[in-house]
Chain A
Amino acid sequence: MLLNLRRWMLAAGLGVASLGLTGPAAAQETTFVFATSEVGVSSYNPIPATLTNAAFSMIYDTLVVQDSDLSYHPSLAESWEEAPDGMAWTFHLKPGVTFHNGRPFNAATVVKWIDLFRGSENSYMIDAVASVEAVDDLTVRFVMKNPDPNLLFNLSSSFMGIPDPEAVAELGEDFGITEAIGTGPFKLESFTQGQETVLVRNDDYTWGSPLSANKGPAHIARITFREIAEDSTAYLELKSGGVDALMSIPTDYLGEIKAEPELAVAEMPGQEVFYMAINVAKDPFTDLKVRQAAALAINQKEILDNVFGGYGKEAHNFLISALPESKLPADADISYDPAKAAALLDEAGWVLGADGVRAKDGQRLSVALWTQSDSIFRRLTEVVQAELKAVGIEAKITTFDSSTIKDEFKSGNQQLAVRSYFWPNADIVDWFFSAERLGYPNTSMFNDPKAEELRVKAMTGSATQEERIANFTAYHEYVTRQFPYAPIYQPVQNMAYNIDRIEMPAEIHATQITGVVMVDVKVKE
């Protein structure tokens, strides 16, 4: 009894000690806040991950890295060549690279890692890879089933950060939670799910990519990433000096940040697109004219100026404008045209009623508009609701939290839904409009034989990057002309930081804030 009591008191004491009653920060220590879209990772194991955050790219290196201009550069692979027919890729690995636990990184590591990757949720990324062979200690060859010009993109993604395969096997489910072993410039010190992730500098790091100014160990000795689900709370933390930087900030906050002298913003090209999914399988949107009318009712300029304070860009098709596949013929792009929207609805037989809502055969043009409960979605959706009303479409908003909405989409009961995605590659068109994924992610229930033909050609029938661009542009254009969605807005990516505390590199050579950028970041003391 007494013994138990003592154990209890010890446990209680530990509990109190873990409440974080700690002292002030020391040299080169800083606290950042993850982007709200990155909140909620359950583990730092990249292989089964369905969501990653910036810390993944700081713990794990990838074979190649992507610059902000979308070009590819060496990281763990010093150089690489593609066979002329696209049926093999050879990567020459950097010598002298070791994992956080001291094990060497070499060709055998890559082979084992790809084996682990095969059975995972993310294995679609290497669908085109038939096998991987170690040619010698530092040379590895990917043999392809079919040419995949997108291989480098996949290899640069944070899902393909390379963990120590031995450690993954040894730790099992604990890998990525209690320990995370990579080759990256930072090591995982502790991870409290939903709360914070603490990383410390990897002092052995000497293999920085050419995209970083600093090739050696990072300047920051210890960095704490906090997870804050609400953008406004995160912003108030930054403003009151509670944290030093926010990994992302909604564009509608930019005005406030620019008014604060001690805060600055690092801008990166946007990777996100806001759009309204239109369910083509549900009346009245089975009618192409009604879909087109709903799409033309969206006033991209009004939304850009008034909801997002003029920061970012209007969206006129499904892809971010940095991608070559986003360059569609002018008449395929979707732009605000209320007069044409009204004319189309008239043509389709929907006549304007006295209450400002159209009707046909006694039925009102009243539809369900779904969105998720995050504040920016709620605001944007209310504006979309008003814009639809202006052409005579009554939209009733239902708000779901972001995980419930996925279930609801699978029911196929949605009519309109305001959504966004974050992805810098044209294969996102396949993700959202493939007939293989009806309901979710294909919330538009888009199922069109011609589109499927173009999709398969784009996904697996492209031998070179040029061919892939042409095929995806054709697929993207065809989908867009069927109006299964209405483009709304492309934000810029912004990181906000306190200039009294943080010194950012002058130029950011990455598509987002990754380990490549973080090795160059300094804390001012």
Chain B
Amino acid sequence: MITYLTRRLLLLIPVFVAVSVVIFLILHLIPGDPLDNLLRVGSSPEKRAEMSARYGLDRPLVVQYGIWLGNLLQGDLGTSIASRRPVASLIGQALPHSLLLGALALAFSTLAGVALGVAAAIWRDRWADRLIMGGVLLGSTLPSFWMGLLFILAFSVQLGWFPVSGARGWESLVLPVLTIGLGGTALVARVARVAMIDAAERDFVLLLHAKGMPPGRIRLNHVLRHAMIPVVTILSLRIGWILGGAVTVEYVFARPGLGTTLIKALSQHDYPVVQACLLMLAMAVMLGTLLGDVVQALMDPRVRREAA
């Protein structure tokens, strides 16, 4: 298992370098000068040149990349051009909010999705199945920002149950988690349902039935466990998708986080911040995929053996 993990972690390094190059290059294609947000209009060209030198914007791209990567490896993410503060501190403020939101949304999707998927599989092709799968489809086809806004209108403004925006206390997490989580729930429920049905028809399950084990226990101990493998796979593949949902939803609920930081930095051409946000998201995606693979390996004896 340890060798497997080490190998997977080492494999991340070239991907990480590739990601960093692409992120760096793409950002410098965005038209606009970050200094424009910093200098008062009508500033002298000398002042501009001085600022440009201060942030290293006057050097060739390759050199800028080299410096950036070098600093990055030493844990220095640079200084935000718009706010003149260390990027690491901005990210440090934003990241816990996004991680908490993402983790809760992921947990919600998993629990709700598996529960609904199992229920749909048990009542397969009956009205309960159709109702659940129909509802789930609806949840995944509504744009998340739209759903978020309607939640605000219904639960915050009309009923006054939850805050409209911001990140103050657990109450302000409920609606954002629900908004992101519903999309994920649909995905998990669909996969879980198919996997349950699939697993229930496997030989070993039929054997257990023949041995007279109670159906409830079979479902819980064997079928569900077997069915969880594809669920974990799809979840680890879709971590990025959940983070993407967080970007939009953070914006709608005016929550602090990577998404709002990124969107603002993008509009201010604040390269160091955009780069750091994208890197964080890319790393989250890569680590999420890895985590999914590891969990999968732990659950599936065949992969575990192969990995050992």
* Partner-B contacts on A (CB < 8 A): 15-16, 18-22, 40, 42-43, 50, 121-122, 173, 177, 192-195, 226, 228-230, 233, 236-237, 239-242, 401-404, 406-407, 410, 436-437, 440-441
A19 and B97 contact, Cβ closer than 8 Å, known pairs A230-B254, A407-B36: yes
Q: Complex formed: what's the CA distance from A402 to B37 in Å?
A: 10
Contact B36 A228, beta carbon cutoff 8 Å: no
Query: B41 touches which one: A228, A240, A437 (CB < 8 A)?
Result: A437
Contact A21 B84, beta carbon cutoff 8 Å: no
Determine if B258 is an interface residue (Cβ-Cβ < 8 Å).
Answer: no
Contact B254 A233, beta carbon cutoff 8 Å: yes
Q: Complex formed: what's the CA distance from A43 to B83 in Å?
A: 7
Determine if B157 is an interface residue (Cβ-Cβ < 8 Å).
Answer: yes
Q: Which one of B116-124, B176-184, B262-270 is at the interface? A: B262-270
Contact A240 B157, beta carbon cutoff 8 Å: yes
- Tell me the nearest residue of chain B to A193, going by C-beta: B83
Contact A20 B85, beta carbon cutoff 8 Å: no
Contact A233 B42, beta carbon cutoff 8 Å: no
CB neighbours (8 Å) of A401 from chain B are: 267
Interface size on B, residues (CB 8 A): 42
Contact A18 B41, beta carbon cutoff 8 Å: no
Contact A241 B256, beta carbon cutoff 8 Å: no
Query: A406 touches which one: B36, B82, B85, B169 (CB < 8 A)?
Result: B36
Determine if B167 is an interface residue (Cβ-Cβ < 8 Å).
Answer: yes
Q: Which one of B11-19, B158-166, B191-199 is at the interface? A: B158-166
Contact A240 B254, beta carbon cutoff 8 Å: no
Query: A404 touches which one: B32, B41, B157, B167 (CB < 8 A)?
Result: B32
Q: Complex formed: what's the CA distance from A134 to B206 in Å?
A: 97
**Contacts between chains A and B (CB distance < 8 A), count:** 99
Q: Complex formed: what's the CA distance from A440 to B43 in Å?
A: 11
Contact B40 A403, beta carbon cutoff 8 Å: no
In the complex, how many angstroms separate the beta carbon of A378 from the nearest chain B beta carbon? Answer: 15
Contact B164 A15, beta carbon cutoff 8 Å: no
Query: A226 touches which one: B31, B42, B83, B166 (CB < 8 A)?
Result: B166
CB neighbours (8 Å) of A122 from chain B are: 40
Query: A229 touches which one: B84, B254, B269 (CB < 8 A)?
Result: B254
Determine if B307 is an interface residue (Cβ-Cβ < 8 Å).
Answer: no
CB neighbours (8 Å) of A194 from chain B are: 256, 260-261, 264
Contact A241 B160, beta carbon cutoff 8 Å: yes
CB neighbours (8 Å) of B264 from chain A are: 40, 194
Determine if B170 is an interface residue (Cβ-Cβ < 8 Å).
Answer: yes
Contact A19 B100, beta carbon cutoff 8 Å: yes
4 more A-B contacts (CB under 8 A) besides A236-B164, A237-B163, A441-B41?
Answer: A18-B96, A19-B97, A50-B38, A194-B256
CB neighbours (8 Å) of A237 from chain B are: 163-166
Q: Complex formed: what's the CA distance from A15 to B98 in Å?
A: 11
Query: A440 touches which one: B41, B83, B90 (CB < 8 A)?
Result: B41
Determine if B39 is an interface residue (Cβ-Cβ < 8 Å).
Answer: yes
Chain A, interface SS category: loop
Contact B96 A436, beta carbon cutoff 8 Å: no
Q: Complex formed: what's the CA distance from A50 to B85 in Å?
A: 16
CB neighbours (8 Å) of B175 from chain A are: none
Contact B254 A20, beta carbon cutoff 8 Å: no
A-B contact pairs, 23 of them (CB 8 A): A18-B93, A19-B167, A22-B168, A42-B83, A121-B40, A193-B85, A193-B90, A236-B156, A236-B164, A236-B165, A237-B164, A239-B157, A240-B157, A241-B160, A242-B163, A242-B164, A242-B165, A242-B166, A403-B32, A404-B267, A406-B37, A437-B42, A441-B41
Query: B167 touches which one: A16, A20, A43, A236 (CB < 8 A)?
Result: A20
In the complex, how many angstroms separate the beta carbon of A373 from the nearest chain B beta carbon? Answer: 9
- Tell me the nearest residue of chain A to B155, going by C-beta: A240
CB neighbours (8 Å) of A229 from chain B are: 254
Contact B169 A42, beta carbon cutoff 8 Å: no
CB neighbours (8 Å) of B83 from chain A are: 42-43, 193
Q: Which of B104-142 contact A (CB under 8 A)?
A: none
A21 and B157 contact, Cβ closer than 8 Å, known pairs A406-B41, A407-B32, A440-B41: no
Determine if B95 is an interface residue (Cβ-Cβ < 8 Å).
Answer: yes
Determine if B152 is an interface residue (Cβ-Cβ < 8 Å).
Answer: yes
The 9 residue pairs across chains A and B that have the minimum distance between CB atoms: A15-B96, A42-B83, A121-B40, A401-B267, A236-B164, A407-B32, A237-B164, A242-B163, A233-B165
Of the listed residues A122, A233, A406, A441, the one surrounded by the most CB atoms of chain B closer than 10 A to its CB is A233
Contact B40 A50, beta carbon cutoff 8 Å: yes
Contact B267 A195, beta carbon cutoff 8 Å: no
Determine if B33 is an interface residue (Cβ-Cβ < 8 Å).
Answer: yes
In the complex, how many angstroms separate the beta carbon of B164 from the nearest chain A beta carbon? Answer: 4
A16 and B93 contact, Cβ closer than 8 Å, known pairs A230-B254, A441-B41: no
Query: B33 touches which one: A43, A407, A437 (CB < 8 A)?
Result: A407
CB neighbours (8 Å) of A440 from chain B are: 41
